[in-house]
Amino acid sequence: MRIRRALCLAALLSTAGTAAHAESWRGFPVIEWQTRPAQQLAAMKHLGITAEAIMADRQHPDQPRRQELQAAQSAGTGFYVENIATDFYSAYHRWFPGKPVNWRFVEAQQRYRADPANDSLLFRDPSLSDPAWQASIRERLMATVRTYHADQPLYYDLGDESGIADLSAFWDFDLSPPALAAMRQWSQQQYGSLAALNAEWGTHFARWDDVRPETTRQAMRRTDGNFASWSDFKAWMDVAYAQALRAGTDAVHAADPQAVAGMEGVQVPGWGGYNFETLAHSVDLMEVTGAYGESLPLLRALNPRLIPIITSFSSSPASQRRTWHAVLNGARGLVLWDENDAIVRPDGTVGPDGTAHAPLFAALPRVAALLHDSQPALDAVAILYSPESFRLQWMLDQQPKGDAWMQRKSETELEDNAWRHALHGYMQTLSGLHLQPQFVTGAMLAELHSKVLILPDTLGLSQQEAQAIARFAAQGGVVIADRPAGGYDGHGKRLPQPVFTAGVARIVAPEDAPQITRLLGQAGVSQPIGVRNPDGSNAGDVTLYRYRHHGDTVVALERQDRGAQGRAVVLDLPAAIASVSDARTGAAVAGGRQVTVQLDPVVPTILWGHARP
């Protein structure tokens, strides 16, 4: 049933990332978030800053912010429209005068802790499934697009730092009548019959109108390991969040078919609606907070047409390193947070951050254009992304703590757990071997063409997923897991025994590089390009990126050691590369099949490997 869930969702959301919206994005815009007068914007444009944010008028969407618009026009910069529907998408994390941004969430927690038997305290206000709110937001978005359409904004931001509750916080929203009605319809699509749902949940509902999922408090008191009702509820809320965003995207497209709809403050995969399997096709553009980790490569795997951008909060070497890392992983724009006028002062003179940023702004457009015109050269190693397993691991971690979950914050949910530890551990080990894995979801397993499949902390697998993995292994594929996989089904119900027979998956710790290397070798996976230290040892603290570019190979090298000085590495190139040049300057790089390059502590080395004629 879980594969049906994924396929239905993909069909529902697939038109959001169409070519028209992806191709309307040009270049690598650098955007000042704070509103600035024309004098400052003109000086910023000379530095390479190309756009600014203009705050939407939610009360009067048919009236433009004329002063800000005129400043941008006078300076010759572009703009995007910010925070159009934050009151809907970010209801529990938004600015109020004299209050913390998450005060509504804190109050909701306090009220529920005081009266946990009162399910009405778990109503999201507004509900993402409320038809009246949906209609109002659609009208507002369309009016806003019509207002600014002639000036061609870069994108329209549906909401900043949005989520089911407070960003990535865990919470039991939404049990309101509109949400329950929508969940019942969705559950009918998943199960087909009420009897099938009752069998999975262990319930005895007589009518669909009686169906009500377990709350977290109820699920934590179970002793049979059947979390299907609770997990389906959480899966549904991810769908409801993605559907609400998709409805906003549809409204933007209805007013202007070429417009780009975006969301900002996208959190790492986890709670709050940040199930990337459901989220990836909900908008055209995402401003992603997690530049490191799995966010950007996962989004690219699930929706290659998505436009990812990131935000920089300073000009420090660490911040610039983060920006470059995001560019190497597909970022196509940069937002600057500049609350202290440190880039350009109010009098139009360049500030310290502007001076420090200038080389970055000069280099980004050319490099980003080259990488955007290339395709990542991924290796025959796949990593399964399993939101169901994430949910189950959280439940198993928190169940012994009882009601302590009611006090958890959004920051708490960013902490490491077994699921994240396994995922990040395998990614780091593969990076040290200079391999680029591809992410897959359960719905993609049936068409898997890799040689190796990695299952990080994969607790939950549907029958179809388990069968697809078993077929992959039977046909010679190597399956690696950090623990016996599939102890629960695809809805979160504990099984009498794991779905795999012994020998389907090899149990290998994520950090066990020698054993992983051995299994990769058995599967026929090896490093296409070697990266060595001058003494011949593997340079495992250097990340290698490979891209295909019209028959050529683009190679990027990114240091992970955080050293302050330059260092040399030696590349062992394949015979298919005839010559190498610096991708930024065009200068030839000598060395033949073995090329020695100097790595900067911050700026990645990017080489163009020219194919033999």
Question: Edge to edge, what strands does the sheet with 381-384 contain?
Answer: 438-440, 381-384, 452-455, 478-481, 505-507
Per-residue tokens: 53:
């944010």
Residues of the chain with pLDDT under 50: 2-4, 6-18
Distance, CA of 549 to CA of 551 (rounded, Å):
6
User: What are the C-alpha distances in Å from 2 to residues 191, 327, 470?
Assistant: 10, 34, 17
Q: How far apart are CA 471 and CA 449, in angstroms?
A: 12
* Predicted local confidence at residue 407, as pLDDT: 97
- Could you give the 3-state DSSP secondary structure of residue 602? coil
Return the bridge partners of 577, or none: 611
Q: For strands 334-336 and 452-455, give the pairing.
A: unpaired
DSSP-assigned beta bridge partners for residue 335:
31, 311
CB 201 within 8 A of CB 195: no
pLDDT of amino acid 19: 52
Q: What domains sit in the chain, N to C, each tagged with a CATH number?
A: 2-376 (3.20.20.80), 381-522 (3.40.50), 530-611 (2.60.40.1180)
- Residue 131 in 3-state DSSP? helix
pLDDT per residue over 195-206, tens digit each? 999 999 999 999
Q: Residue 290: its pLDDT value, please?
A: 76
Q: Which of 412, 378, 414 is nearest to 293 (CA)?
A: 414
Please give the C-alpha separations between residue 585 and each of 363, 364, 367, 559, 567, in angstroms, as whole numbers: 10, 13, 11, 20, 20
Contact between 33 and 335 under an 8 Å Cβ cutoff? The reply is yes
pLDDT tens-digit map of 219-241: 999 999 999 999 999 999 999 99
Give residue for tokens 């395709």: 375
Strand partners, 494: 488
Measured between alpha carbons, how far is 71 from 40 in angstroms, rounded to an integer? 9
Instruction: Give the pTM.
Output: 0.95
Three-state DSSP class for 244? helix
Which bin fits 16, alpha (ψ -120 to 50), beta or left (φ > 0)?
alpha
Query: For position 20, what pLDDT does the model report?
Result: 58
Q: What is the dihedral of CA 609, 611, 612, 613, to 10 degrees?
A: -140
Structure confidence at residue 7 (pLDDT)? 41
At residue 578, φ and ψ (nearest 5 deg) are: -85, -40
Q: What is the pLDDT of residue 22?
A: 62
Question: For residues 224 and 236, what is the distance between their CA atoms, to the nearest angstrom?
Answer: 22
